[in-house]
Chain A
Amino acid sequence: MAEELGALLRSVVAGPPPVTVDPRAVRRQARRRRGVAAGAVAVLASVAVASAAVVAVGGADVSRDRSAPADVRVDGTWTTATWGSLTWRVPPGWLVSAPPADHSYPFGASVDGPSISTVPTGDMCAAGDGTPGCARPNAMTTIPSEGVIAWITSARRASALPDAVPADPGTLSAAPCMKWPDARPFHAVRLFGTAANGSRVAVEGCVFGTRAAERARELAAVAATVSISRYPG
Chain B
Amino acid sequence: MEFDEFVRARSPALLRTAWLLTGDWATAQDLVQTSLAKVWPRWKGIVRRDDPEVYVRRVLVTTYATWWRRRWRGEVPQAVLPERQAPGDPYEAVDRAAAVAGALGGLTRGQRAVVVLRYFEDLTEAEAASVLGCSVGTVKSQHSRALARLRESGPLAELVGPAREETRHG
Contacts and interface: CB of A to CB of B under 8 A. Distances in A.
Interface of A: 1-2, 4-6, 8-13, 16-23, 25-27, 29-30, 33-34, 103, 125-129, 131, 134-138, 141-143, 162-163, 178-179, 181
A137 B77 CA distance: 13
Interface stretch (B24-32, B46-54, B80-88, B129-137): B24-32
Contacts of A1: 159-161
A145 B168 CA distance: 49
Contact of A19 (B29, B36, B159): B29
A138 B38 contact: no
A8 B118 CA distance: 13
A222 to B, nearest CB: 24
Contacts of A134: 26, 30
B27 A135 contact: yes
Contacts of A179: 24, 26, 75-76
A29 to B, nearest CB: 4
Nearest to B76: A179
Interface of B: 3-4, 7-8, 11-12, 14-16, 19-20, 24-34, 36-38, 40-41, 63, 67-68, 70-72, 75-77, 93, 96-97, 100-101, 115-116, 118-120, 122, 156, 159-161, 168
Query: Main SS of chain B's interface residues?
Result: helix
Given A6-B122, A125-B71, A136 B26 contact: yes
B16 A17 contact: yes
Nearest to B24: A179
A181 B77 contact: yes
A23 B16 contact: no
Contact of A128 (B63, B93, B100, B161): B63
A126 B33 CA distance: 13
A16 B160 contact: no
Contact of A125 (B15, B63, B72): B72
Contacts of B168: 2
